[in-house]
Structure 1
Amino acid sequence: MTTRSRDTRTDLLLAAERSFAHKGYAAVGINEVLSSVGVPKGSFYHYFNSKDAFGEAVIARYFEQYLAEMDEILNAADQDWGARILAYFASWRASQSFGDCEGKCLAVKLSAEVADMSEPMRLALRAGTTQIVDRLEHAITGAVGDGSAPFTGDARSTAEALYQLWLGASVMAKVHRSLAPVDTATAVTRQLLGI
């Protein structure tokens, strides 16, 4: 009988992602994460040099997963690009929760908190969000090309504006405990792209 060997580093990253998404970065202690996966305190530095390096790794892993899911939505060959863009934002809307986003809104949760606190984490957030904007720009260009979005503006600046709109709408949805801000973001997205 074979047993699957435990990947402690991945277990730590997953536990931290859930905790950071729920409580934020500063409110989560390393001991809390270690005890949640049954790892002795002395083992932490075997995997990570510091809490910032740990946070950076959590963010990098989060974006790796997020971008894979985004690619799956945006590469749906059975839909035109306009429909793919709307499907992506519908998925974003569905991931919003007021109590616990289960790690699906980590960028929303951490962006404002760590941008001034940790340069490595800020750079990891910037790298991840830039990749999201890159994909949105590609999708907008595709929608213009296939005629599903009669849009005439600059694809890059529009992709940046849409991401910023949705990030802000997600924060406001949490403040108001209502999906109305993301519903407004959906309407503005449709209007802006002409979808």
Structure 2
Amino acid sequence: MNSATDTAGTDARQKILASGRRTMGGKGFSAVGLNEVLTAAGVPKGSFYHYFGSKEAFGEALLQDYFDEYLAEMDQIFRAGGQTRAQQLDSYFAAWMASQSFEDCQGKCLAVKLGAEVADLSPAMRAALRSGTAGIIERLARAIEDGQADGSLACSGDASALAQSLYQLWLGASIMVKIVRGPQPFDNAQRATRQILHPSR
């Protein structure tokens, strides 16, 4: 296979994944049929089965692709120069609030939208969720440890446990934002986060 064919194949696969993220991010995994995903992507059905053996395999790849992008964005935030870890954590949670809209998340809130649903449907998708969320918590824990070391965070205790508590707090807030259709849960989560981390600035 030549490079042009490789590129075309990669583009088709990414179109399907991008379409799935938008449609399933809005409606859920079970409510969306493959025809809807493929029509939106402008890709024939045969192409789907070339890249994904089943809807479940597609869901697994969809989550892996989502978390790959999410973790890369986290890494970019925590590489920002001229900022303490406390400031970078502020930036991360501000980005969380901006992306997890209660009106239209444009596929950026896939873990929130699909988490409970697909964890009960598929061991493979549950494993993808577990791996992706573990990556988020690990990065938060490193940032907290660094913040404790550079003096920008005055919190005490195990960084991994704090990171897990914060992730669970914000995951719950994201669900509540969709229920109440307003930002108050995020405001509460932001205040609780500052109480937990005790930024020194």
Percentage of pairs with the same residue: 54
Distance in 2 between the 1:113 and 1:161 partners?
Answer: 22
Which residue of structure 2 lines up, in the alignment, with residue 131 of structure 1?
Answer: 135
1:77 CA drift (Å): 2.1
Alignment TM-score, normalising by the size of structure 2: 0.93
Q: Counterpart in 1 of 2:115?
A: 111
Which residue pairs with 1:34 in the alignment? 38
TM-fit CA distance, 1:65:
0.6
2:50 aligned residue: 46
Question: C-alpha separation between the residues in 2 aligned to 1:150 and 1:58?
Answer: 38
CA shift digits 1:28-58 (9 cap, x unpaired): 1011111112222233211101101000001
4+ residue runs over 3 A deviation: none
Number of the residue aligned with 1:18: 22
Instruction: Give the partner amino acid of 2:120.
Output: D
The equivalent residue for 2:101 is 97
CA-CA distance at 1:5 after TM superposition:
4.0
1:155-194 equivalences in 2 (<5 Å): 155-194=159-198
Q: Deviations over 1:3-46 (max 9, x none)?
A: x8461111000100111111110111011111112222233211
Post-superposition offset of 1:157: 0.5
Q: Deviations along 1:118-151, whole A, 9 cap, x unmatched?
A: 1111100110000000000000001000000111
Q: Tell me, what secondary structure is at the counterpart of 2:133?
A: helix
One-letter code of the match for 1:89?
Answer: F
Runs of 5+ consecutive residues of structure 1 not aligned to the other structure:
none
Aligned-partner Cα distance in 1 for 2:67–2:47? 25
1:121 counterpart letter in structure 2: M
In structure 1, the residue corresponding to 2:127 is in which secondary structure?
Answer: helix
The reply to whether residue 55 of structure 1 matches residue 67 of structure 2 is: no
Unaligned 5+ runs, structure 2: none
2:132 and 2:182 map into 1 onto residues whose CA distance is: 26
Which residue does 2:82 correspond to in 1? 78
Residue type of the partner of 2:105? Answer: C
